[in-house]
Amino acid sequence: MNYFKFFIKYSIGILFIVLAACNAENAEVNSSAANNKQTDKTLAKQPHYIGKPHAPIVMRYKASVKNTITVGQQISYKIYFSTSINASDLQVRYTTKADLLIQNPSMSIAFGEQVKGKKNLLELNIIPQQDGLFYIYLSATLDINGQKQSRNFVIPVQVGEQLIEKTLLKKSSSQGEVKQKPEPARIISMPAIETTR
């Protein structure tokens, strides 16, 4: 019986160690980029993140719901677009995947002539179809003297309490299997098209 008690304690101990090891590995992921993107006085003295060129369009938004979003609940977004240069037109296209139903009758809007700083409002209503992390995809296109330039955006929609990582894991599995052994580093193994000669 003493052996039995010892074994239970030992087993539970191992269980916790294994779980801790799993969690520790998952927690090692880099987060420096997010930390480096703060907009405060530190920008005055140290390098910020350095991104690719983009069309001079800015997007901001407000959602009608601040608490947890639930399946079937209609969510309204007020989405503002502005440009830093004058342009003859600004058009916005938007879409979602099947997880979010868009209630708007059209999937695009034209705001017409733009002057620097003008705010253009797009009101968008969606109804989530299932729990998870989803996105509204938007593309804003400026027409500058007949030359068109786009900038793409997404608005994240977290539906329910489901862990984001769980949604992600499901999505990532299509890229390949993650393997640890025999190497010390994690490796994503994807299938090659192999031919022999």
Residues in 118-157 that interact with other proteins by CB under 8 A: 133, 135, 137, 139-141, 148-156
Exposure class string for 51-62: b at 16+ Cβ within 10 A, else e: eeeebebebeee
* Interactions with other proteins, residue window 75-94 (CB under 8 A): 82, 84-85, 93
Residue 161 or 183: the one with the smaller Cβ distance to other proteins is 183
- Count of residues for the chain? 197
CB of 182 to other proteins, least distance (A): 4
Residues 93-112 that bind other proteins (CB under 8 A): 93, 95, 97
- The one-letter code for the residue type at 22 is C
Contact indicator for 192, 176 with CB cutoff of 8 Å: no
Interface stretch with other proteins, choices 71-79, 98-106, 120-128, 176-184 (CB under 8 A): 176-184
Among 51, 67, 106, 146, binds other proteins (CB under 8 A): 51
d(CA 123, CA 138) in angstroms, rounded, equals 13
What single-letter DSSP state applies at residue 66? -
